[in-house]
Structure 1
Amino acid sequence: MPAINASRHHGLLDLPALRKRAKRLLTAVNNGQGDDTREQLRLLGLAGPPYRLADTQWLLAREAGFASWPKLKAHADAVAFAARHPRFSADGEAGVKHWRCGNDIAHSLRIAGFSGVFQMFDDPMVMGPVPALPEDQYWQVRATYTQQAFNLGAQDIEQRQTNQRAALAQLNADSEMVLWCEGDAYDQLFLVRVLASLPCLPRRLELIEITEVPGVERFIGIGQLAPDLLAWLWPQRRALGEDALALAKQAWAAYTAPDPRAWATLAAQEHPSLPRLRAALARQLQELPGVNDGLSLTERLLLRILAQKGEMPAGRVFAQLMMHDEPLPYLGDQMFHVLLQPLIHAPLPLLLEGPGEAWAQRPLRLTELGQSILNGQANWLDQAPPPRWVGGVLVNAEHMPWVVSGNGDVSQRA
């Protein structure tokens, strides 16, 4: 991937390279070459020639997602300054425990100069049963699901759970912790799970929470960012108080309940103490069966991709979903693979899977039933789909399952 395009993914702008490119573009358009560049400049209201360096710099800034070259330069300078002057020692970072719902930033934190303890909490609570049960029973339910769904060894799961449970059990009034989150359901459920586990407000409780980064074309997660961007994020953290803990406990109780009405109520409200929570709860609520087609939003989106583009390898479907169609990206590739299985292996499948050595290479195409459901001529809940869970809600087509409308209203299907 060229450096100019790579920066749109990891966020680390290369100002010298951008300046050189702007000069090359300027020379080309003023010499009667670079038709595409000249057309883009014309669309920006710059008729030329002759063109100035400021014109091609403005064009590159617009391509990178900034309103102007000075704004692009200001952001690049801010990131560079933060990387040179991280102020970690002054903030007492060495005594902090960095909590994250995966290990995607563990190495980058070290590269950027962070020295606090890293704590991973990677239970994918957006999938499988997340019921309101006593702790021992809850963790056993999660272990059984994770082992079956992801084909992981029992010893591996036990070790992960032991580490996570021990970390939660050690939380107390003397804890110093910083949580790194995005705004999607995977991260926000991690956030409320950890906050709801706190016995009291700890001595230090801070949150780094982002949904977009200047210059990044499609922000999926903090793990995609260059290490210097973590240093830039560090001063943007904010303290959480008792109101955030109370909201987290309420949200966790609602998400793990067998009745989603309290969850739907929270998903319809703004929450100043955790401002990204509403959108995440609303998006995850759409994983309940749709009232009109019986599909989760993820299922509906991936079927639409195949209906519009035709047969495609599963890996390309996943890429299209995450980079273009999913409104609040939260899935990893293995999670996507798990979600495909009921659609492929149900008695009346919605997808047909072709041959291929790896699952991502196997072509997928819609069945006639899948197309009929997309066309509004059938409902997936009438086709005996396998039972599944969304949070604490068991979706069983035979027992008046909870369904959701497009605007977030929930009801039981007769």
Structure 2
Amino acid sequence: MSTDPSAQHGRIHLDQQRKRAKELLARLRAGTAPEQQALLAQRRRAPAPPQLADAQWLVARSLGFASWPRLKAHVDAIDFAARHPGFAADDEPATWHWRCGNDIAHSLRLAGFRGRFQMFGDPLPMGPAPALPPDAFATLRAGFVHRAFGLPQEEALARMRQEYGALARLHTARRVVLWCEADAYDQLFLVAVLASLAALPERLELIAVDGVPGVRRFIGIGQLAPDLLAWLWPQRRPVTPEALALARDAWAAYRAPSPRDWAALARAGTPALPLLAPALRRQLQELPGLHDGLSLTERLALQIVRELGQPAFGQVFAELHGVREPLPWLGDGMFHALMRPLIDAPNPLLLESDRQLDWPRRPLQLTALGHQVLDGRAYWLDHAAAERWVGGVRLAPRAPHWALDAQGAPCWRASGAACRPA
């Protein structure tokens, strides 16, 4: 079928879909749509000439709907929200919208929301996140942001103090709405915010989503058209006492020096915050794999470089983010920061050419050690120069550390390839 822009921003236009269905019907009748014809054959009890309803069903199915009426009902609901923004009456100027980035700030205004917006952008899936008092934690995180992203020290510290200062005042708000999706960045933002509350705001609500009908690869709320935010608004739910208790447990587990409690939470499930357990499982994969010492992000990036030859840095990120990452959580700057230790080490895994270019355009290629590590013939932490943190877990080169075994369970790697189960 033809490329459909709604698969990126989620705003589905029914007229466009009707046109797609008519075009598809012509191809079905001409016998030039074999994949769709095979789907129809599976659906039917007996052969029959294709009809418009068949093409509409195929179009709806390609957008994630079970039927054309389901697709139409979804579009009608969004159109109604856009034409009758009654939700605005609920969004009082005193409402405080919280998000782990600024990607929806403009869209909220366009959609008619009136409350104030607060970004809490600390990239908690990266860098040290041990259990420290709030001021010391904010200072530590500012130092990490300064080193990893090149932000001036004073600017990084001012940003962290502003974000964590707002967090300390959150319980005084009349109404708070948290906007998040299913990935580790958002879910760690969610539990960090909830766990920090000294008391509850008058109203505390959550919008949490892991997909939107019609969007083939849902990356996050920030990719959605403004009127999709109006559609999401009625789906908000009060944060329950069970969710608060779970968030405190999860945040404490993530900041512990051992991943055992964190892994147990991910394994057991988190029904009070249903999107949390998958995000914790994915974040657990940022611990080094026992066979190569790589995180999942590092491993996928190296695989992409090897398969593509000498791709540009930005091309590797696009392939990772858009295709291979099972639960997308990285921005491009975060990806660049995660790759620097693999490039800048005395014995690197990646070579970066043409450094006079902006980093996304610089070609990358594997070193001999990169090939050996990717094949499991060498262990990255035996060669790395920089320590790495995953939450409260510190990973120091050539020192005993936590790793993941072949089943994805944490174990303690004391020496060589030996690993003691958690």
SS of 1:232's equivalent? helix
Residue 6 of structure 1: CA displacement? Answer: 1.3
Counterpart residue number, 1:72? 71
How far apart are the structure 2 equivalents of 1:334 and 1:352?
A: 18
Counterpart residue number, 2:419? none
Larger mean CA deviation between 158-167 and 345-354 belongs to 158-167
How far apart are the structure 1 equivalents of 2:38 and 2:265?
A: 48
- Give unmatched runs, 5+ long, in structure 2: 415-422
Asked if 1:304 is matched to 2:300, the reply is: no
Task: Give TM-score scaled by structure 1 length.
Answer: 0.93
Letter in 1 for 2:398: E
Query: 1:124-154 deviations in whole A, cap 9, x for unaligned?
Result: 0111111211222211111111011111123
* Contact 1:4–1:14 under 8 Å retained in 2: no
Query: 1:7-57 deviations in whole A, cap 9, x for unaligned?
Result: 001000111122233334445655x4xx53366335422898954322322
SS of 1:247's equivalent? helix
With over 3 angstroms needed to count, the CA separation of the structure-2 counterparts of 1:258 and 1:55, relative to structure 1, is same
How far apart are the structure 1 equivalents of 2:214 and 2:268?
A: 30
Asked if 1:274 is matched to 2:273, the reply is: yes
* Contact 1:128–1:145 under 8 Å retained in 2: yes
How far apart are the structure 2 equivalents of 1:137 and 1:42?
A: 61
Counterpart residue number, 2:362? 362
SS of 1:74's equivalent? helix
Residue 253 of structure 1: CA displacement? Answer: 1.4
How far apart are the structure 1 equivalents of 2:374 and 2:390?
A: 22
* Contact 1:264–1:408 under 8 Å retained in 2: no
How far apart are the structure 2 equivalents of 1:169 and 1:90?
A: 27
SS of 2:389's equivalent? strand
Query: 1:217-270 deviations in whole A, cap 9, x for unaligned?
Result: 100010000011101111111111222222212211111122222222222221
* Contact 2:88–2:114 under 8 Å retained in 1: no
* Contact 1:201–1:242 under 8 Å retained in 2: no
Letter in 1 for 2:126: M
With over 3 angstroms needed to count, the CA separation of the structure-2 counterparts of 1:407 and 1:238, relative to structure 1, is farther
Larger mean CA deviation between 158-167 and 146-155 belongs to 158-167
With over 3 angstroms needed to count, the CA separation of the structure-2 counterparts of 1:28 and 1:278, relative to structure 1, is closer
Larger mean CA deviation between 216-225 and 85-94 belongs to 85-94
Asked if 1:400 is matched to 2:396, the reply is: no
Letter in 1 for 2:380: W
Pairing of 1:12-411 with structure 2 (within 5 A): 12-27=11-26, 30=29, 32=30, 36-37=32-33, 40-45=36-41, 51-172=50-171, 175-355=174-354, 357-411=357-411
Query: 1:267-308 deviations in whole A, cap 9, x for unaligned?
Result: 222122111111111111111111121111111111122233
With over 3 angstroms needed to count, the CA separation of the structure-2 counterparts of 1:216 and 1:390, relative to structure 1, is same
How far apart are the structure 1 equivalents of 2:224 and 2:304?
A: 28
Counterpart residue number, 1:8? 7
* Contact 1:306–1:312 under 8 Å retained in 2: yes
How far apart are the structure 2 equivalents of 1:279 and 1:285?
A: 10
How far apart are the structure 1 equivalents of 2:35 and 2:382?
A: 53
Letter in 2 for 1:288: L
* Contact 2:285–2:404 under 8 Å retained in 1: yes
SS of 1:402's equivalent? strand
* Contact 2:87–2:234 under 8 Å retained in 1: no
Residue 89 of structure 1: CA displacement? Answer: 4.1
- Give unmatched runs, 5+ long, in structure 1: none
Counterpart residue number, 2:413? 413
With over 3 angstroms needed to count, the CA separation of the structure-2 counterparts of 1:27 and 1:278, relative to structure 1, is closer
RMSD across aligned C-alpha pairs, in angstroms?
2.2
Residue 61 of structure 1: CA displacement? Answer: 2.1
Larger mean CA deviation between 182-191 and 41-50 belongs to 41-50
Letter in 1 for 2:413: R
Letter in 2 for 1:218: R
Letter in 1 for 2:37: L
How far apart are the structure 2 equivalents of 1:27 and 1:398?
A: 63
* Contact 2:292–2:380 under 8 Å retained in 1: yes
With over 3 angstroms needed to count, the CA separation of the structure-2 counterparts of 1:42 and 1:413, relative to structure 1, is closer
How far apart are the structure 2 equivalents of 1:50 and 1:167?
A: 63
Larger mean CA deviation between 270-279 and 302-311 belongs to 302-311
Larger mean CA deviation between 314-323 and 63-72 belongs to 63-72
Task: Give TM-score scaled by structure 2 length.
Answer: 0.91
With over 3 angstroms needed to count, the CA separation of the structure-2 counterparts of 1:29 and 1:262, relative to structure 1, is closer
How far apart are the structure 2 equivalents of 1:303 and 1:234?
A: 40
Residue 65 of structure 1: CA displacement? Answer: 2.7
With over 3 angstroms needed to count, the CA separation of the structure-2 counterparts of 1:39 and 1:175, relative to structure 1, is closer
Larger mean CA deviation between 164-173 and 36-45 belongs to 36-45
